Structure 1
Amino acid sequence: MAVRPISKDIVLSKAKSLNIPCYEQEAEKITECINVILRSYERLDEIVEVVPEVKYGRTCGHRPTTDQNPYNAWYYKCDIKGAATGKLSGKRVGIKDNTAVAGVPMMNGSKIMEGYVPEFDATVVTRVLDAGGHIVGKAACDDMCFDAGGFTNSIAPVLNPVDKRHLAGGSSSGCAALLAAGEVDLAVGGDQGGSIRIPAAWCGVVGLKPTYGLVPYTGAMAMLPCIDHLGPMTRNVSDCALLLEVLAGYDDGRDPRQIQDVSTQDYTAILSKDLTGMRIAVVEEGFHGAQQEVEQVVRNAALKLKDLGAVVESVRVPIHPDGFHIFTPLTMEGAYQTMMKDHGFPAGLRGTRFLSLLDEVAHRQTSRPFNFSEPLRLAMILGKHLMTTYKGRFYARAQNLVRLLTAEYNKVLESYDVMIMPTTLKTAPNVLLQDSSVAERLTAGSGLGRNTAPFNATGHPSLSVNAGHVGGGLPVGMMITGRHFDDATVLHVAYAFEHIRDNPTFTSI
C-alpha cells in the first residue's frame, strides 16, 4: 500500500482536530519532517514478511444444506486431514468460526465478515493438524462473539440438541451443539466471558477455559487481549485433557497474551478417580440468584466428591458478585477500543498481525455498520460514550480492581485445590421467536456470565462439566476453577466427578 506525502493543509487540519496549536510557518516545517519520516513507511511495505506456513492441503469446503445442519451449528463444512499419526489421530474436530482456517471462509457469526477467507491457519489449527486431527468444519458462533445466548448468529440461532426448543448457549454455540449431537469428537472454542463454559453447560458437554495465555490465541479474532481465551470442548474430560495437551504451549512470541515460560503438563497422565487429600471449596456467592433446581443439582454433585476422598466445604468469597461488575468495563470499553478503533490488533503489544484480517475488519466495520447485531450495537455505543466522556477512567479502575479480585480468589485457593459453583444460574432458555421484541433480544443474554466472566478477568482455569439434569432433561453445568497454570487439578476433579456421575446409581438431586 503506497503512503502518500502529506500536505500542509492536512497537518493544520489534524492539529485542529487534536486541539494542538500549529501556526503556518511551524506547519510547513512539520510537513517537511513528516514526509521524511514517511519514507520509512514506504520501505516497510517493500520488505518481505515471514508468514506462517500452511502445512496441510485442503479445499475451501461448502456451506451445509438444511438437512446437513439440523441445529444450525455449522457455518462451513470442510475436510482437512492432518498428520498420518498423532494424539488426535482419527478424531473429528470442529473449529469455532472466530478462528482462522486457511482457505475456509470465516464469518465470526456476523454479516460484517461474510465473504472473508483467511490465507493463514491459526496456531491452534496447525497444532490440531500436526497431532493428526481431522478438521471437518467451522462451528457457528454468536455475532462477533458478542453474546452468550446462542441466538445472535446472523444466519440462524443455534439450537440445543438436547431439546431443539431451547438455545445452545454462546458464543461457542456451534461447538457445544455439534459435540452434543455427536457430529464432532472435539472442538476448539473461544471464551471472553463464558463463551466456552456457558454452551458446554447448556448442552451437557465439557468446556475448559484454560489459564490465561496457556493456549495461544494467534489467528483468532480478538475482543480484548486481556480476556481472550481459546480452549478445548469435548464430550468427556479425558478428551478435554488430551486436546489441551495438543493446544497448550508457547507460540514463539506471536501471541502477546503469553509469557515466555508458559507452564504445561501431561494432562492426561494426571487424571485419576481418587480425590483423597483434595480440598474443595463450594463458593456460596456463586449460588445467589440460581434456579432452585440448578442449585440442588450442583450442591449434590459437589457433595458426591466426598465419596472419592475429598474434603468439601462451604466458603464465602464476598467479592465474587462484584466480579461481573469489574469485568463489565473491560468488555464494554475494552472491546470498543480493540474491535472498533484498533480493528482487532491493539497498538502497544508485540506479536503477529495478520494484515488481511486487519484490513477486512477496518473496512467492513465502517462500510457495514447496519449489519451489527443489537447487543453489539449497544456495546459499541456504550463503549464509545464511556471512553470519550470519562476518558477511560472506569476501564482503568476496573483493571486495578482485577488485582483485588484475583487476590481474593487466590486466598481461597491457598487453602483449597479448586472452587465449585454453578456454571450458569439457569438452564437453557427457549429459542427466541422471529417476532421477538428489541428488548427481548437485547436482554436475552444479559447476566449469563455472572459466574463465568470474573475468571476471564483474573485468568484462572475454569471448566464446566455436566452435573446432571433437571426436569425436562435439560443439563446443568458445574464449574470447577483452580490455580493459575494448575489446569491439571481442575481436569482431575472433573474426571473424578464424571466417574461418579456415570455410575448407574447416581441421581442429580
Structure 2
Amino acid sequence: MSEVYRTHVVQAPTIADVAEIADSYGFTFEQHELMEYQEEIKSSLKMFDKLEDFVEPQLPVIYPRTPGWAPKNEENPHNAWCWRCDIKGSSDGKLAGKTIAIKDNIPIAGVPLRNGSRLFDGYTPDYDATVITKILGEGGCIIGKSTCENCCVSCGSCTSVNGPVTNPYDTTRMTGGSSTGSAVLVSVGAVDMALGTDQGGSIRSPASSCGIVGLKPTFGLVPYTGILSLESTFDNVGPMTKTVYDCALLLEVLAGYDDGVDPRQPRDLVVPEYTKQLSRDLNGIKIGVVKEGFGTSSSDKDVDDIVRQAARQFTKTGASVDEISIPMHSVGGTIRRGILLQGAVSTFSRGFNYGSKGFHPTSLFDSIHHSFKSRPNDAPVRVKQNMLAGEYLNRNYGGMIYAKCKNLAIELGKKYDASLNDYDALVMPTLTRQSPQFPQKNVSLKDLNTALHNNVSNLGGFNITGHPAITINTGNKVDGLPVGMMIVGKHFDESTVLKVAYAYEQLDK
C-alpha cells in the first residue's frame, strides 16, 4: 500500500493529551517541556506502524458452525441459557454423543459473547478458546452458552443482564455463582456436561447449590487460553457434571499443556486417564476434616452436621477420618480479596490477561477498552466497587497490600501442603449455608453484597493456593436445597480427589 494512504496504527497524542496524563501522575512541566515530550512520544509511536506488515497468530477455529439463536422462553424455564447453538465436533472421541453447555465468559468463534454484561454488547469472538477446540476434537456437541453473573463477580444468580437464574430445587432462591446457568442446565438434565470458571468459588458454589459435581482443577492443569480473566494468577476453568465419572471424563479431555500459549501451565504436565483410576475402595486413604471449615460466623449448624456425618461415611470405604486444624484457612478469602481488588483494576482498565505471557485476543482487548470508555456505567455495581477500592489502594498504598496478600498466599499454601503431607484429602462444607432467596429490587449495596457472598468463606483460599477442589452432593438437604461437601487434594493429584469423591458417590449403590 502506498505510504500516502497508509494510516498510523497509533495516532499521535496532542499537547492536551500529554498534559492530562502528566497531571494524573503528578508530574509538573513547563509548556516547552510538554512540547518536547509530545514530539518524542509522537516520533516513538511511529515504530508501531511496522506491525501492520505482520499477521498475528490466532487460536484455531476448526469445526463449522452458525451463530445460533436466542433461546425461547419455553425452552428456558430457569433462564439458564443465554444463547443457543448447535456445534458438532469430531464424529468420534471420548465425548461422542455428549451435549455440553459453555459458560458465557468462554469465547466460541462466531457466537455472541456477553459475559453477563451490557459491556460486551455487540462482541462476537473471532477465535475458539482452547477448551472449546479440545471438546469438539473429542466428539462433544456444544448446544449453547449458559448464563453467568455480570462480569463473573458475583456468587449469587441475580446480576446477569440476562436476568436472574432460578434454583431448580426452589425457584425463590439463587443458584450460587458465577457459573450459574451451567450448574442449572446440568442439574435439570438439559445437557450432559458444562464448563464453568472459578476464581473464587464460581464452579463450586452453584454446583453445590444445584446438587451436581463441580471441579476447580489444580491451577494450570487445564489451559485457560483465550478465556476472559479476572486475575491471571488464579484463573481456572473446569467441568460441571451430574456424576463423578463424567467429571473425570471431561477433565481427561480438558487437561494438558497448551503449547506454551498459556503461561499458567507447567511444561511437564502429565494427564492420566482419570476414569480408570476411580474406585470404591479407599483402603489406606487418610481424610482430614478441617475444623476451621465449620462453625464460622456464616455457618448453618444443619449444614455443618450433614457434612460431618457425610465425612464419617468414608470409613465404610476403608478410609480413615480425623478432624484436623488449619487455623490460617479462616483468612483464605480475605487474602484472595486483597489480590483480586488490585488485580481487577488492571484487568478491567487495561485488558484481560494484561501483563502476562501467552495468547492475547486483540478483538477482546479492543472491545472491553471501548466499552469502558464509551459506557462505563454499564459496569455492574460489583465491578464498580472493586475498581474504586482497588484504585484507592493503588493510590494510597501502591502495591503493598497486593504484595502482602501474594506472600500470605504462599504461606497459606504451605499450611495446606503440610496437612496434605499427612492426609490424602481434606474435607469441609462447600457452602457454609444455603443459597439465599433473591434480594429485593433496589436493595442497598451492603445488603446485596451480603446476599451474594455470605456463604463462600471456604472457597477462595484454594483459588490463591492452586489446590484442586471438588464439590459433590452429600445426598441430604437443608431448606430444600442440596448440601455440598468439598474435597481438596494435593497439586495435580486430581486422581485422588476424584477417587475419594467417586467412592462417596457409590456408597449404598
Measured against the shorter chain, the TM-score band is over 0.9
| Deviation digits for residues 77-98 of structure 1 (CA, Å, limit 9, x no counterpart) | 1000000000000000000000
| Deviation digits for residues 182-239 of structure 1 (CA, Å, limit 9, x no counterpart) | 0010111000000000000000000000000111111111100011100010000000
Equivalent pairs counted in the alignment come to: 500
Q: How far does residue 40 in structure 1 lie from its aligned partner after superposition? A: 2.3
Alignment of 1:416-435 (within 5 A): 416-434=423-441
Which 10-residue stretch deviates more, 46-55 or 18-27? 18-27
| d(CA) in 1 for partners of 2:467, 2:245 | 20
Alignment of 1:351-390 (within 5 A): 351-390=358-397
Q: How far does residue 428 in structure 1 lie from its aligned partner after superposition? A: 2.3
The residue number in structure 1 matching 2:213 is: 206
Provide the secondary structure at the position in 1 that maps to 2:315.
helix
Q: How far does residue 486 in structure 1 lie from its aligned partner after superposition? A: 0.5
Provide the secondary structure at the position in 1 that maps to 2:453.
coil
Give the one of 293, 308, 319 matched to 1:310: 319
Check the 8 A contact 2:434/2:479 in 1, yes or no.
no
Provide the secondary structure at the position in 2 that maps to 1:360.
helix
| Deviation digits for residues 390-440 of structure 1 (CA, Å, limit 9, x no counterpart) | 112111110010111000000000000010000010112223344644443
Provide the secondary structure at the position in 2 that maps to 1:45.
helix
Provide the secondary structure at the position in 2 that maps to 1:216.
coil
| d(CA) in 2 for partners of 1:168, 1:30 | 54
Check the 8 A contact 2:149/2:180 in 1, yes or no.
yes
Which 10-residue stretch deviates more, 445-454 or 100-109? 445-454
Change (3 A) 1:72 1:50: same
Matched, 1:18 2:25: yes
Change (3 A) 1:36 1:449: same
| d(CA) in 2 for partners of 1:26, 1:381 | 32
The residue number in structure 2 matching 1:507 is: none
The residue number in structure 1 matching 2:4 is: none
| d(CA) in 2 for partners of 1:187, 1:484 | 23
| d(CA) in 2 for partners of 1:232, 1:35 | 48
Alignment of 1:33-48 (within 5 A): 33-48=40-55
Alignment of 1:82-97 (within 5 A): 82-97=89-104
Give the one of 249, 256, 269 matched to 1:262: 269
Provide the secondary structure at the position in 2 that maps to 1:204.
coil
| d(CA) in 2 for partners of 1:43, 1:117 | 27
Change (3 A) 1:10 1:439: closer
Provide the secondary structure at the position in 2 that maps to 1:339.
helix
Change (3 A) 1:17 1:325: closer
| d(CA) in 2 for partners of 1:126, 1:310 | 38
Change (3 A) 1:447 1:399: farther
Check the 8 A contact 1:374/1:442 in 2, yes or no.
no
What's the TM-score, normalizing by structure 2?
Answer: 0.94
Provide the secondary structure at the position in 1 that maps to 2:191.
coil
Paired letter, 2:192: D
Which 10-residue stretch deviates more, 214-223 or 23-32? 23-32
Change (3 A) 1:427 1:16: closer
The residue number in structure 1 matching 2:354 is: 346
Matched, 1:453 2:460: yes
Paired letter, 2:460: A
Paired letter, 2:327: P
Provide the secondary structure at the position in 1 that maps to 2:457.
coil
| d(CA) in 2 for partners of 1:355, 1:191 | 23
Alignment of 1:1-16 (within 5 A): 2-6=9-13, 11=18, 14-16=21-23
Paired letter, 1:346: Y
Paired letter, 1:52: L
What's the TM-score, normalizing by structure 1?
Answer: 0.94
Paired letter, 2:354: P
| d(CA) in 1 for partners of 2:455, 2:387 | 19
Check the 8 A contact 2:435/2:455 in 1, yes or no.
no
| d(CA) in 1 for partners of 2:20, 2:372 | 25
| d(CA) in 2 for partners of 1:155, 1:247 | 28
| d(CA) in 2 for partners of 1:320, 1:438 | 27
The residue number in structure 2 matching 1:230 is: 237
| d(CA) in 1 for partners of 2:450, 2:434 | 16
The residue number in structure 2 matching 1:506 is: none
User: Which runs of no fewer than 5 residues in structure 2 stay unpaired?
Assistant: 1-7
The residue number in structure 1 matching 2:151 is: 144
Q: How far does residue 104 in structure 1 lie from its aligned partner after superposition? A: 0.8
Give the one of 57, 60, 68 matched to 1:61: 68
Which 10-residue stretch deviates more, 162-171 or 18-27? 18-27
Matched, 1:76 2:83: yes
Matched, 1:487 2:494: yes
The residue number in structure 2 matching 1:113 is: 120
| d(CA) in 2 for partners of 1:11, 1:142 | 38
Matched, 1:398 2:405: yes
Check the 8 A contact 1:149/1:445 in 2, yes or no.
yes
Change (3 A) 1:17 1:87: same
Q: How far does residue 461 in structure 1 lie from its aligned partner after superposition? A: 0.3
The residue number in structure 2 matching 1:463 is: 470
| d(CA) in 2 for partners of 1:38, 1:431 | 51
| d(CA) in 2 for partners of 1:410, 1:114 | 43
Check the 8 A contact 1:172/1:195 in 2, yes or no.
yes
| d(CA) in 1 for partners of 2:312, 2:92 | 41
| d(CA) in 2 for partners of 1:194, 1:39 | 45
The residue number in structure 1 matching 2:309 is: 300
Which 10-residue stretch deviates more, 73-82 or 160-169? 160-169
User: Which runs of no fewer than 5 residues in structure 1 stay unpaired?
Assistant: 504-509
Check the 8 A contact 1:213/1:262 in 2, yes or no.
no
